[in-house]
Amino acid sequence: MKILVDANVPAADACFAPLGQVSRRPGREIDADSLADVDALVIRSITRLDADLIEAAKAKGSPLSFVGSCTIGTDHVDQAALARHAITFASAPGCNAEPVVDYVLSALMLACERRGQSLLERRVGIVGVGNVGGRLAARLAAMGIEHRLCDPPRAEREAGSRAGDENGQDFVELDALIDSCDVLCLHTPLVREGRHATRHLLDARRIEALAPGTLLLNAGRGDCVDGQALSRRLARGDDLAALLDVWEEEPSIDQVLAHQVALATPHIAGHSLDGKLRGTHQIHQALVAHLGLGERVSLAELLPAPALSRLVLDGGLSPEEALALCMRAVYDPRRDHDRLLRAMAVDDPGKGFDQCRASYPLRREFSTLTLELVGQAQELAPLLSGAGFQVDCR
């Protein structure tokens, strides 16, 4: 069989070469012609697989019978169109949820440090309590950080049973969340229509309702925030800080907004090596199941040892200092902010955005670092383990 894989999917040969002939192509260049003789397609979120593309490929006689997206989100794929042609679809739910939470905590820590504030004293509102939002809530709870939850579809589904999360927290309405929280984190899928539509969920009215000093972080979908309204609000300079990893009109993002926000990154929140390999492996598993075969490679075989696996702390650090040190030992979001702004300055902004993603530096997850806590530093164990690190008290 012939398998076409997005050029940025890691471990493609290890996962798919045992199943057939593998070819690679940049995700934005996948078109009907490239699918003409393809049996299976493996993509990421930048490939828009809509009804027109699927119909055009089938009109050319494409034998396509399987599509796998190595991502949590699925709004870039018209699943109904695939079903009409009996094409099996698989995604990778949860594959990069952990690195997104790493990104969120690192970004919020950076923003608080710049303001001389304590992340541990903020109240975080989480909009969308799915794979990412649920994990973020769990880590915040373990770290002792106050937080509130908003997820209308989930609250509706669970009405009359358990209208709250695993820690017993009730869901609140979005406007109430905005009124009561000084950090707002968006982790919603893009839903364009219906009662729970999320396009411009943060519209001009809600952006105006954000209190001065609020931290607004979007690591869900760019279209969930009205970028023009946010740009107008930021232009007033009233201490609202925006941290954006996702944007409207990617990759040709609003350059003015990119220079207004406190942190601008090119849709890489989930781009840890671990998360990418989990996504690839989940699609490998889905494809072998589709073919009626057994697993050909395990996730453990794909994951290399981390470059930094152990760090010793021996007292003398405040909780905030310890958190910042350990987070940055694994991931510093300033690197991605600076890379994006440099790339957009020297190249076409859209090409610069995509180049930052295509050449993304190696990044591991908090969980790959073991912290050896000696003496007084052992008091930090609950906080650091809650943040996602492995902890070894001596």
Per DSSP, 70 falls in state: S
Is 265 a known ligand-binding residue? no
Is 37 marked as a binding-site residue? no
Structural contact between residues 313 and 127, judged by C-beta atoms closer than 8 angstroms: no
State the Cα–Cα distance between residues 254 and 272, nearest whole angstrom: 25
Residue 88 labeled ligand binder: no
Are 85 and 58 in contact by the 8 Å Cβ rule? The answer is yes
Cβ atoms of residues 384 and 326 within 8 Å: yes
CA distances from 35 to 57, 60, 90, 136, 381 (A): 6, 9, 18, 38, 52
Judge whether 226 and 200 are in contact, CB under 8 Å.
yes
Task: Please say if 199 is a catalytic residue.
Answer: no
Is 221 one of the catalytic residues? yes
Instruction: Spot the catalytic one: 44, 135, 267, 339.
Output: 267
Give ∠ CA 84-46-331 in degrees, rounded to 5. 135
61's enclosing H/E stretch is none
Any catalytic annotation for residue 267?
A: yes
User: Does 71 carry a binding-site annotation?
Assistant: yes
Tokens standing for residue 8: 């940025």
Q: Which of the 8 DSSP states describes residue 234? A: H
Report d(CA 245, CA 100) in Å as an integer.
10
| Residue 151, annotated as binding a ligand | yes
By C-alpha distance, which of 108, 138, 103 is closest to 330?
103
Amino acid 370 reads: T
d(CA 112, CA 333): 13
Given the residues 139, 221, 233, 363, the one annotated as active site: 221
Q: How far apart are CA 219 and CA 256, in angstroms?
A: 19
Count, residues in the chain: 394
Say which of 250, 281, 357, 364 is annotated catalytic: 250
389, 366 Cβ separation under 8 angstroms: yes
Measure the CA–CA gap between 120 and 123, rounded to whole angstroms. Answer: 8
Binding-site residues for substrate sit at 45, 71
Catalytically active residues are 221, 250, 267
Residue numbers in the known binding site are 45, 71, 151, 188, 245, 270
